[in-house]
Chain A
Amino acid sequence: MSLEWKKSVIAVLGLLFLGSLVLIQKLEVDRRAVEAKLVAEPIVVPAASRQCVDCHAQSTPGLVDHWKDSTHAHKGVGCVECHQAEKGDADGFDHYGAHVAAIVTPMDCGRCHPDEAKEFGASHHAKGGNILASLDNLLAEVVEGSRSPMNPHAPTPGRPDVTSVNGLASVEVGCKQCHGSKVGLLATDGRSITVDDLKPDKHGKPTNTAILADVQRRDGKPLLHSGSWPNTGIGRINLDGSLGSCSACHSRHDFSARRARQPENCGKCHLGPDHPQKEIYEESKHGVAYRDLKDHMNLDAKDWVLGDDYSQAPTCATCHMSGNLRNGGKVTHDPGERISWTNRPPVSLGMDTDKNHAVIKESDPAKRAAAIADGGDSWQAKRQRMTDVCMHCHTQDYVTSFYEQYDDLVVLYNEKFAKPGQAIVAALRAQKLLTPQEFDEEIEWTWYYLWHHEGRRARHGASMMAPDYTHWHGMFEVAERFYVELIPQARELAAHAAASGKQAEADAVTKVIDEILARPEHVWQDKGH
C-alpha cells in the first residue's frame, strides 16, 4: 500500500469518525429532549417542615410518601403550612418546636384556597353534619343503637374488656363517616368537648377557654374523642366552628385533584339502597364510556376543563363541579349549583334556593320570586348551568328532550305515589292512629322504604339515565310498596281503629284512601265488586 493511498484511507476514516460523532451528538440532543419531559420535578422539603419529614419518614413513611407525590410538595407547601396552629387554638399542641393541630379544617385550607372554601361552605355537602336530629339519625341512634350506654348482657369470651356497650356505634361508624362527626376533645370524665362548648369566634379561637382545662392530654397533645375522630365525613363539624372536611374528597396527604375527579371517590357515600348514584352512573352510557376511556381523560391535567382537556366521558365531577369550555372553565365546590330538582325529600322539589342556599319551601309564587331575587338562585339557572355541560356533547334539542323525560318521571312519581302516600300517612297521624314516635309501626317503615329507598332510586335513575334503576329497582318497587303494603296497612289501621271504637277517625282515613284510589291512574285495579 503506497503512502499516498494510506493517507487517503486515513482521511476517509477520519471523516467517518467525524460522522459517527455527529450521530452521537444527535443521540444526545434527542435524549435531552425526551428527558426534559420524563424527569419528574424534584421535591423540595421546605425548611420549616424538614424536621417533620425527617422524623415522620421513619415513623409514618407512607404518609410522607403520599405528600411527596402531591402538588403541595411540588409547590413547596410542607407540613406546618397546613398543620400549624396558633396559640389559643383548642386542639393546638407543642410538637418538637412547632405548634400544630392534628385535624386540618376547611378554615385551614381556606387560608390558601379561599374561593374553594367559600363555595364548599355554601354547599349542601358542608351541612351534611346537620343530620343529627333527622329521621335517618333516629334510626341509627335509637332503632339500631341506644342513646345511652348499655350493659352487656352476657360475657364475651376472651374480651373481658367489654364492660359496656356504646349505643352510638352505628351512628359513629356509619352515618357520621359520610355525614361528618361533631369533632370532640376527650374530657377527663370521658365526655366529648365540642364546638358547642368551645363557642369559637370567627377566627376559630374558643371563647370558652376555661373548659380546655378539662381536656385529657398525653405528652401535651390533646386527645380526641374516638366517637368523633378519625372522621373524614364531608359535613364534619370542626372544633374551630368550620364545617366540612376537604379530605373527604381530596384525601390526605396527597390532596389529589385527580382522585376527586373520579366517580369512585363520590362512591364512598353516594351508593347503596337509598341513593345509588354510583351504581346508576355505572349503568349509564356515561359510566360505561368512562370505564372504557378513563386512561385517555387526562385526569392529571391542572384545570381539567371539559372540552379542552378531555371530552371522552363525564364523571360525577364533570357535570356537578368541574369547569367546562362553556362556563369559562369555572370549577365550583358547591355541587348544588347545577341541580334543578332535589330528589332527597319524599316529594321532589324544584331547586329554587334562597340567599342561604336553602331550598325554598314557600308555595306562593310571588314570595318564591322575591326570595330568588334576594340573592337566591332559581332552578332554571341551575338547569342552564347543567345544560352548558351537556351541550359539549349533545345538542340543545337533545338536552331539552332529556329534561322533559326526567321531569315527567319525577312528576309522575310525585303525583301518583309520593303526594298520596304522604297524604295517607299524614291522615293517620292527624287522626292519632299512629303514635308520634317514628318507626314503631310497620306502615312507617313501609312509607320510608317507598320514598327514601325506592322512590329515590327511581328519580335518581331517571336523572342520570339508568333505566333499570328507574324501573325495576325504582318505580316497580314503589308501586308494589304502595299497592301491596301501604294501602292494605293503612286500611288495616283504619279497620282496627273502627273495631276499637274510633269510627270517626277510621272514616276520615278511609275517605282519604278512597279519594286517592278513585283517581283515574288508580282505577285500573279490578276490585271484583
Chain B
Amino acid sequence: MNGPAARLRNFLRERLPVDGEQLRALTNEPVPHHLKHWWFCLGGTPAYLFVVMIVTGILLAFWYEATPTRAWESVRVISEDVAYGWFLRSVHRWAATLMVAAVVLHQMRVFFTGAYRRPRELNWLIGMGLLVCTLMAGFTGYSLVYEQLSYWGATVAANLADNVPVIGGLLKSFLLGGDDYNAHTLSRFFVLHGAILPVTMIGLIALHVTLIRLHGVAEMKFRRDEATAPRFFNFFPDHLLTELTIGLVLMILLCVLASIFPVPIGPRADPLSTPEVIKPEWFFYVAFRWLKLWSERAAFLSLGAIVVVMAAWPFIDGWIRRKRPGSEASVFVGIVAVLAILGLTVWEALVAH
C-alpha cells in the first residue's frame, strides 16, 4: 500500500483536494431523455466547432503577419508554401461557416421550443451575446486576409459604425485606429479576432453552460416516446459518446469540405479600386440587403433595434403571455422572422448589386 503509485496519489490528493467521485457527481448531471434525439445536439455543435476554431486559429497565427504590407503575402504563404497550410486554413474557414449556421439553428430550436422562457431568460441573453460575438469574429476573420473583400468590408463596416448614436465616431476611430483604413487598422482587427472575441466567447460559453447546469436542461416530451423510457440518462459516458460522435462527423465533414472546396485567396486589397461586385460573407447577406433597402441611417438604426428586440424577446414574450395566457404569438413572430431572414438572404444571393 505504500508503493510509489499510492504515494503519488496521496501527494496529489493533498494538493488538489478534489475527489474523483465528487468531481464525477458534480459534472455527471442527468441529461433529459429527449437529448437522445440528434437534433437536440445543436448546442454542442457550435461548442465543438469553437474548439476547432481555437486550435486551427492558434496554428494559423504562427504564420500570419498582421500588417497591410505582409498580411496578404503571409496568407498566401500559408495557403501555398507551408505544409497543410491550405488544409488548416480551409478547415478554419469552413468551421466558421458551419459554426454560424449551427449557432443560428441552435437559437431557432431554443426559440421554437420556448426554452428561453422563465427562468431561462438570462441564458437567452448570453446566447444573443454569443451570436453577436460569432458574427463579429466571422467579420474580423475575413478582414485579416487583406484581400479586396477584407479591405472594403472593413472600410464599409467602420463607416457604418459611425451611425451609432452618440459614440459612433468614437467607435469608428477605435476600430480603425485613425480616421480611415491605415497601417494600424489590421492589428486592431487581429487583436479583436484573435484575443478579445475568443476570450469573451470563452467567458460567455462558460456562463452559458453553468446556467444550463444550474437550471437543468429544459425537458421535452414527445408523443412518440415510450412512456416507460426513463426521464434522464447519464452524462457519462452515454451523452459524452454522443458528443464524440458529433465531433467526428464534424471533422469528417470539415475534411471533405476542405478538400473539395479549399478556400481560395482573392486578389490583394487595392485601396484605389473597389471591385465591381462586392459582397460580404453569406451570413451578412441579410444585413447587407436590409441596408440597401432603406436609407443608411434608418437601416442601421432599425438593425440595432431588431437586435435589441431579439435580445429582449424572453421578457416581451413573458409580458404577452401574462396578458394572454397560452398565447402562441412567439411562434408566429418566429416564423415571420425566419421567413424574412431567408427571403433577404436569398434575394441578396441572387442579385449582383
Residues of A whose CB lies within 8 Å of any CB of B are 1, 3, 6-7, 9-10, 13-14, 16-17, 20-21, 23-24, 27-28, 31, 35
Contact = CB atoms under 8 A, between A and B. Distances in A.
25 contacts: A1-B36, A3-B237, A6-B242, A6-B245, A7-B241, A10-B241, A10-B244, A10-B245, A10-B248, A13-B249, A16-B252, A17-B248, A17-B255, A20-B251, A20-B252, A20-B255, A21-B255, A23-B255, A23-B259, A24-B255, A24-B259, A27-B87, A28-B86, A31-B86, A35-B80
Contacts of A13: 245, 248-249, 252
A10 B244 CA distance: 7
B75 interface: no
Contacts of A17: 248, 251-252, 255
A7 B84 CA distance: 30
Given A16-B248, A24-B84, A28-B83, A3 B241 contact: yes
Q: Is the interface of B mostly helix, strand, loop or mixed?
A: helix
A20 B249 CA distance: 11
A242 B293 CA distance: 76
Interface string B244-276: 110011011001101100000000000000000
Nearest to B86: A31
Contacts of A10: 241, 244-245, 248
Which 8 pairs across A and B sit closest by C-beta, in order of nearness? A20-B255, A13-B248, A6-B241, A17-B251, A24-B87, A17-B252, A16-B252, A17-B248
Interface in B161-219: none
B259 A27 contact: yes
A16 B247 CA distance: 12
Interface of B: 36, 80, 83-84, 86-87, 237-238, 241-242, 244-245, 248-249, 251-252, 255-256, 258-259
B255 to A, nearest CB: 4
Contacts of B259: 20, 23-24, 27
Contacts of A3: 237-238, 241
Contacts of B87: 24, 27-28
Contacts of B249: 13
Contacts of A24: 84, 87, 255, 258-259
Nearest to A38: B80
B293 to A, nearest CB: 42
A2 to B, nearest CB: 10
Question: Most B CB atoms within 10 A — which of A7, A10, A17, A35?
Answer: A17
Pick from A1, A7, A21, A24 the residue with the most CB of B within 10 Å: A24
Contacts of B80: 35
Given A6-B242, A21-B255, A23-B259, A28 B248 contact: no
A31 B241 CA distance: 36
Nearest to B81: A35
Contact of A14 (B83, B248, B255): B248
Contacts of B36: 1
Nearest to A15: B248
A24 B256 CA distance: 9
A17 B251 CA distance: 7
A461 to B, nearest CB: 53
Nearest to B250: A17
A28 B255 CA distance: 13
Contacts of A7: 241
A7 B240 CA distance: 11
A31 B86 CA distance: 10
A318 to B, nearest CB: 39
A16 B241 CA distance: 17
A466 to B, nearest CB: 49
A498 B80 CA distance: 91
Contacts of B238: 3, 6
A16 B238 CA distance: 22
Nearest to A21: B255
B171 to A, nearest CB: 40
Contacts of B237: 3
B252 A28 contact: no
B27 to A, nearest CB: 18
A348 to B, nearest CB: 61
Contacts of B86: 28, 31
A116 B92 CA distance: 57
Nearest to A14: B248
Contacts of B255: 17, 20-21, 23-24
A20 B87 CA distance: 12
A17 B91 CA distance: 13
Contacts of A35: 80
Given A6-B241, A21-B255, A23-B255, 13 more contacts: A3-B241, A6-B238, A13-B245, A13-B248, A16-B248, A17-B255, A20-B251, A20-B252, A20-B259, A27-B259, A28-B83, A28-B87, A31-B86
